[in-house]
């Protein structure tokens, strides 16, 4: 029968990209849109690593090894050593972005109906990979009042069942920017040992920590079999389009299984492996400049937000995201309204409603995520817009009833 699969129907649309048509319409009207909605860094990809691709000397663009070029994996060992992670090149499988590392990890360790616990709000695409792998996400809630700290251990215990196979963390966190403390990482270690769970650690933003040190899941002692690192060079080197990530673990059975999935798709992209290999040789101070820039932006953003009436934004310790609570009724409606019905000096701002990052329905309806991927000047202009917008939205929409807008939202 000619039908769409149930999983295809369940597959969520990207909560971030669903506002794109409204942004496009705004631009057609001549309105400048400040994009704070998506984690596409504006930082230039380092010229040295682009040059490595430009000057690569080969005649045939061949498949690489299914686990990635051996030379790249050996180079990655050096990179990880600098971050305090001791592995060898056979413990790395190069993937097509961090995305594929997540999918392969889910597929290799969990069967249909198995469960992963993820502190919410979380990276929305985990939902997509969970649907693809036919597994169930059990969210436990981090709250804005604590700055989205790890929920207490009891919250994990409440949702653990015989079907629970893993915990997923993203550290520093997308979408909250929260950086897990050593204490919190040790708590996670206790849980995964006690309940014999995998710890899937998404550390895409490892380099971007502004308050304290990054504690990798791979730094935890005595849980080598449990920890599966899902990594990517996308944000680290502003190389999102390269689609190169890695799955790293000391668990040999997991590696052997992931390799079979990797073999089925033959190999990860070759060009960006060359780029990734060159990136390991960037000067050690490369991240200093990038970090300083993000730090300035974070400080600007958080200060501006907390100065607005009724707005609360905890100070994120890492990544380049922040979630703020706004004096609004419905974040999805507000973000659409910003694009569809608002402008200030022919400008507006595009944000990501936080609802898309929660697994629990109803949460996040007065929260939005900011990706501070614009320079401070643009950020300030975006904040000017937001400040005006909040006032106008409260007067014109929230106090005016919602009938008219409802029609548009159908």
114-143 residues near its own copies, rule: CB under 8 A? 114, 125, 128-129, 132, 134
Interaction between residue 1 and its own copies (CB under 8 A): yes
- Applying CB under 8 A, among 37, 64, 142, 176 the residue interacting with its own copies is 64
Number of residues this chain uses to bind its own copies (CB under 8 A): 77
The least CB distance from residue 7 to its own copies, in Å, is 6
The least CB distance from residue 205 to its own copies, in Å, is 15
Nearer to its own copies, 227 or 382 (CB): 227
> Do 136 and 159 contact (CB within 8 A), yes or no?
no
Judge if the upstream peptide bond of residue 175 is cis by omega within 30 degrees of 0: yes
> Do 323 and 173 contact (CB within 8 A), yes or no?
no
The token pair at 334 is: 């507000």
Interaction between residue 28 and its own copies (CB under 8 A): no
The least CB distance from residue 147 to its own copies, in Å, is 27
Interaction between residue 62 and its own copies (CB under 8 A): yes
Measured from the Cβ of residue 33, the count of other Cβ atoms closer than 10 Å reads 20
Nearer to its own copies, 240 or 398 (CB): 240
Torsion on CA atoms 288, 294, 299, 301, rounded to nearest 10 = 180
- DSSP letters for 175-242: TT-----HHHHHHHHHHHHHTT-EEEEE-TTTT-BSSS----GGGSTT-TTTEEEEEESTTTTT-GGG
CA dist., res. 325 & res. 309, Å (int) = 11
- Applying CB under 8 A, among 52, 93, 103, 118 the residue interacting with its own copies is 103
Query: x/- binding map, residues 219-238, to its own copies, per CB under 8 A?
Result: ------xx-----------x
Interaction between residue 356 and its own copies (CB under 8 A): no
Nearer to its own copies, 163 or 381 (CB): 163
Q: What number of residues does the chain have? A: 410
Measured from the Cβ of residue 318, the count of other Cβ atoms closer than 10 Å reads 26
Residue list 239-268, contact with its own copies (CB under 8 A) = 239-243, 253-254, 257, 260-261, 263-268
Query: x/- binding map, residues 277-316, to its own copies, per CB under 8 A?
Result: ----------------------------------------
Residue list 187-206, contact with its own copies (CB under 8 A) = 196-198
> Do 205 and 290 contact (CB within 8 A), yes or no?
no
Nearer to its own copies, 214 or 226 (CB): 226
């Amino acid at each position: 029968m000619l039908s769409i699969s149930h999983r295809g129907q369940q597959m969520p649309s990207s909560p971030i990209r669903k506002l794109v048509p409204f942004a496009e319409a705004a631009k057609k009207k001549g309105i400048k849109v400040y994009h704070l909605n998506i984690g596409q860094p504006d930082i230039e990809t380092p010229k040295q690593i682009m040059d490595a691709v430009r000057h690569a000397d080969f005649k045939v663009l061949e498949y690489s090894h299914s686990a990635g070029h051996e030379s790249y994996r050996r180079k990655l060992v050096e990179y990880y050593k600098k971050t305090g992670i001791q592995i060898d090149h056979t413990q790395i499988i190069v993937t097509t972005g961090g995305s594929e590392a997540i999918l392969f990890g889910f597929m290799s360790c969990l069967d249909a109906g198995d469960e992963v616990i993820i502190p919410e709000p979380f990276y929305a695409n985990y939902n997509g990979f969970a649907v693809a792998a036919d597994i169930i996400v059990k969210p436990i809630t981090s709250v804005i009042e604590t700055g989205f700290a790890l929920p207490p251990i009891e919250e994990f215990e409440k949702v653990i069942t015989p079907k629970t196979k893993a915990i997923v963390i993203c550290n520093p966190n997308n979408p909250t920017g929260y950086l897990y403390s050593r204490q919190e990482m040790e708590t996670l270690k206790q849980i995964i040992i006690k309940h014999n769970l995998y710890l899937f650690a998404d550390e895409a933003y490892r380099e971007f920590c502004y308050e304290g040190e990054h504690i990798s899941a791979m730094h935890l002692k005595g849980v080598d079999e449990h920890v599966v690192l899902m990594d990517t060079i996308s944000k680290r080197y502003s190389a999102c389009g390269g689609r190169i990530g890695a799955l790293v673990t000391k668990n040999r059975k997991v590696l052997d299984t992931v390799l079979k999935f990797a073999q089925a798709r033959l190999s990860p992209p070759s060009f960006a492996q060359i780029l990734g290999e060159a990136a390991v040789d960037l000067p050690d101070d490369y991240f200093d400049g990038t970090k300083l820039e993000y730090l300035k932006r974070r400080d600007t953003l958080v200060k501006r937000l907390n100065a607005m009436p009724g707005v609360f934004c905890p100070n994120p310790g890492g990544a380049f995201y922040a979630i703020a609570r706004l004096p609004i009724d419905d974040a999805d409606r507000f973000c659409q309204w910003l694009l569809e019905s608002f402008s200030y000096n022919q400008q507006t701002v595009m944000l990501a409603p936080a609802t898309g990052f929660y697994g629990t329905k109803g949460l996040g309806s007065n929260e939005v995520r900011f990706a501070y991927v614009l320079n401070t000047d643009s950020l300030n202009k975006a904040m000017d817009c937001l400040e005006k917008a909040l006032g106008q939205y409260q007067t014109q929409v929230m106090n005016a009833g919602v009938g008219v807008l409802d029609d548009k939202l159908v």
